[in-house]
């Protein structure tokens, strides 16, 4: 049997959020304030450079000033801390975004502890993560989990009392997302690599969020016709194309709603980062 699957695309969600950001930037401009962010990049990883370009392009569309501090791969922990502390002290830098993971020789935990949580627009510092776990929304969230929440809200998908399964428990996606869903009064189940018979758990959920980083891992067996499926995964399909954690072609027509492998949650992430930059500035 086939059903009409609603495609949950990220573009209208991002546009909706951007309209609000523009109004807020204009209000700041009236007070001669330009929201400004500093992007810190260690090395030249292709993915980082690609994401950086997207952030800078969106900055200029929204009237936000973005600059980049590019550092050599062999930068020391002390040098990186100095750059973060300078940015913390700089009145005209409102938000800091640093690409992770950092090279292995750097002490990421110590470095993140030095970042002013009020400028941590990527929600990476211990203070901001702690707030997420306390259900306190006064801090900044990691962008991808927040993007998932914004997607669900934009498409009027009820969260209160909903059974939501989050597949993946990383500190960047799965864990903070589970806490944000809990704050929305969802009943949350977290699955991970040691979960037994995951499809029997996901197929009982109203909403499934896939964040496991395994190309096309979840197929129709994991869902039912009433499943709402949010695929956070960004993977290489082995043939040079990007694919999600969900087997899109196999699942389309068999679930109630589904995000596409490109143009889904990832489309919203940069906008969340910049919304948090404007909030930091405000």
Q: Which of 36, 144, 227, 251 binds ligand NAP (CB under 6 A)?
A: 144
The token duo for 142 is 């990691």
According to the binding rule CB under 6 A, does residue 193 interact with ligand NAP?
Answer: yes
Residue 181: C-alpha distances to residues 103, 149, 177 (Å): 32, 7, 6
What number of other Cβ atoms are within 10 A of residue 45's Cβ? 15
Query: How far apart, in whole angstroms, are the C-alpha atoms of residue 240 and residue 13?
Result: 28
Query: How far apart, in whole angstroms, are the C-alpha atoms of residue 212 and residue 273?
Result: 22
According to the binding rule CB under 6 A, does residue 269 interact with ligand NAP?
Answer: yes
Please identify, among the stretches 118-126, 127-135, 212-220, 273-281, the one whose residues bind ligand NAP according to the rule CB under 6 A.
Answer: 212-220
Number of H helices, E strands in the chain: 10, 11
According to the binding rule CB under 6 A, does residue 80 interact with ligand NAP?
Answer: no
Please identify, among the stretches 56-64, 106-114, 163-171, 274-282, the one whose residues bind ligand NAP according to the rule CB under 6 A.
Answer: 163-171
Please identify, among the stretches 25-33, 89-97, 104-112, 165-173, the one whose residues bind ligand NAP according to the rule CB under 6 A.
Answer: 165-173
User: Whose Cβ is closer to ligand NAP: residue 216's or residue 256's?
Assistant: 216
Q: Which of 71, 97, 198, 272 binds ligand NAP (CB under 6 A)?
A: 198
Pairing between β-strand 36-42 and β-strand 207-210 as defined by DSSP bridges = unpaired
According to the binding rule CB under 6 A, does residue 214 interact with ligand NAP?
Answer: yes
Environment class of 54 (CB within 10 Å of its CB; exposed 0-12, middle 13-18, buried 19+): middle
Task: Give contact residues for ligand NAP (rule: CB under 6 A).
Answer: 144, 167-170, 172-174, 191-195, 198, 211-214, 217, 232-235, 265-266, 269
């Amino acid at each position: 049997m086939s059903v009409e699957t609603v495609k949950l695309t990220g573009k209208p969600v991002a546009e909706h959020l951007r309209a609000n950001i523009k109004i807020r930037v204009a209000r700041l401009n009236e007070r001669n304030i330009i929201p400004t962010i500093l992007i810190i990049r260690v090395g030249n990883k292709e993915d980082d450079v690609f994401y950086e370009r997207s952030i800078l392009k969106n900055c200029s569309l929204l009237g936000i000033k973005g600059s980049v501090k590019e550092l050599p791969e062999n930068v020391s922990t002390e040098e990186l801390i100095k750059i973060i502390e300078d940015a913390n002290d700089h009145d005209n830098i409102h938000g800091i975004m640093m690409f992770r993971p950092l090279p292995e020789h750097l002490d990421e935990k110590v470095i993140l502890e030095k970042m002013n949580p009020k400028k941590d627009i990527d929600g990476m510092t211990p203070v901001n993560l702690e707030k997420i776990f306390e259900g306190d929304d006064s801090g900044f969230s990691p962008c991808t989990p927040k993007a998932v929440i914004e997607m669900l809200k934009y498409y009027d998908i009820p969260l209160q009392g909903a059974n939501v399964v989050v597949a993946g428990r990383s500190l960047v996606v799965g864990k903070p997302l589970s806490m944000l869903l809990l704050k929305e009064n969802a009943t949350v189940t977290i699955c991970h690599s040691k979960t037994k018979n995951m499809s029997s758990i996901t197929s009982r959920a109203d909403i499934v969020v896939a964040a496991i980083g395994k190309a096309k891992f979840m197929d129709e067996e994991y869902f039912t016709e009433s499943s709402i499926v949010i695929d956070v995964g960004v993977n290489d399909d082995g043939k040079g194309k990007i694919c999600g954690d969900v087997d899109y072609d196999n699942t389309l027509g068999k679930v109630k709603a589904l995000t596409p492998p490109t143009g889904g949650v990832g489309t919203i992430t940069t906008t969340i980062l910049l919304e948090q930059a404007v909030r930091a500035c405000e």
